Amino acid sequence: MVESYPIKQVIDDQGNVVDASNKDLINEELVLRAYFHMYRIRTFDKKAKSLQRQGRIGTYPPFEGQEAAQVGSALALGEDDWLFPTYRDHGAMLTFGADMTRTFLYWNGRLEGCVPPEGKHIFPAAVPIATQILHATGASWAEKRKGTKNIAIAYFGDGATSEGDFHEGLNFASVFQTPTIFFNQNNGYAISVPFERQMNSKTIAQKGVAYEMPSVRVDGNDFFAVFFEMQKAVERARSGGGPTLIEAVTWRTGAHTTADDPTKYRAEGLGQDVVDPIIRLERFMKNAGFWNEDVVTKAHLEIEEEIEAAVKAMESYPKANVEDLFNHVFAELPDQLQEQKDAYLHLLGGK
């Protein structure tokens, strides 16, 4: 089955073009835009990890190593499309237009972090595994029924494909031919469980066969491979061709979250042969003559200033009220939750 789903690649680890079928579509504007967003979300990710270690935000799920997959997919979307992320897809959210201050606020426990900018169809990050797949399918079906050309993308990891929601979402999308893109980032691990221990399927792309759904595997560390396959899927969805399943094969460089220790389940040195997606793009830029030191330096400074301003704005908000977890779920708290709330208040000194 692996042979039926070869990994599509446009540039290799050294930045050389290995598939020239879309070469005419690669221009300086696209390349610089891709580099800007990939460097921007990498810098955001590093800052977020630093803030967590300093106790300035809560537990945080890093996405380092998955920048090409997130940026390549998000840049192929239209302004009015829908984006349904997991807790590890804030890079895609930022690329699609999410507010950076609010993104930091989300990881600082404030409700404002769930609110997208006016006019942007970005759902709050789904922490339960695979639930967003159903939401994306429903939203895209609604757009189809309304007669628009808008589509929805659902992001999810390899672990989500073992959930019932994944199969129900794909089945519904296939039956009703909804304009949905199911975008899997196969980063090798579902928390601590390696891919081969979680399923007997050799690929995730092959799971689309059961639903008569077009599916493809791409090199998730190759921006161009992701971007061009996404464009095909987007066009298919807009033109009434139905859903697509995309498996972006990538690598989670760090821990599942900042509360995790990957040395407990990943052998030392595992993944060291994976070339960083930003380094790969930089190599391509230099090979193609698109590297401009002045432009790159200016972009780095602009990004750093934006991030520092967003952190400052985030920290100007009052600390999140933990009681909100209890006060806005039930009209009357069940006994168990009331006990938890009382225990929390007791820890605060009976406040």
**Residues tagged active-site:** 252, 256, 265
Give the Cα separation of 138 and 172 in Å (integer): 9
Residue 246's nearest CA partner among 123, 154, 163 is 154
Tokens for 154, please give them: 């659902």
Residue 77's nearest CA partner among 238, 247, 281, 240 is 238
Give the Cα separation of 8 and 10 in Å (integer): 7
- Other Cβ atoms less than 10 A from the Cβ of 58: the count is 15
- To 10 degrees, what angle do helices 164-176 and 131-146 make? 10
Q: Which residues face 246 on adjacent strands?
A: 183, 216
Residue 86's nearest CA partner among 12, 154, 24, 144 is 154
- Other Cβ atoms less than 10 A from the Cβ of 196: the count is 10
For residue 126, give the 3-state DSSP assignment.
strand
3-state secondary structure 23-91: HHHCCHHHHHHHHHHHHHHHHHHHHHHHHHHCCCCCCCCCCCCCHHHHHHHHCCCCCCCEEECECCCHH
Give the Cα separation of 217 and 245 in Å (integer): 9
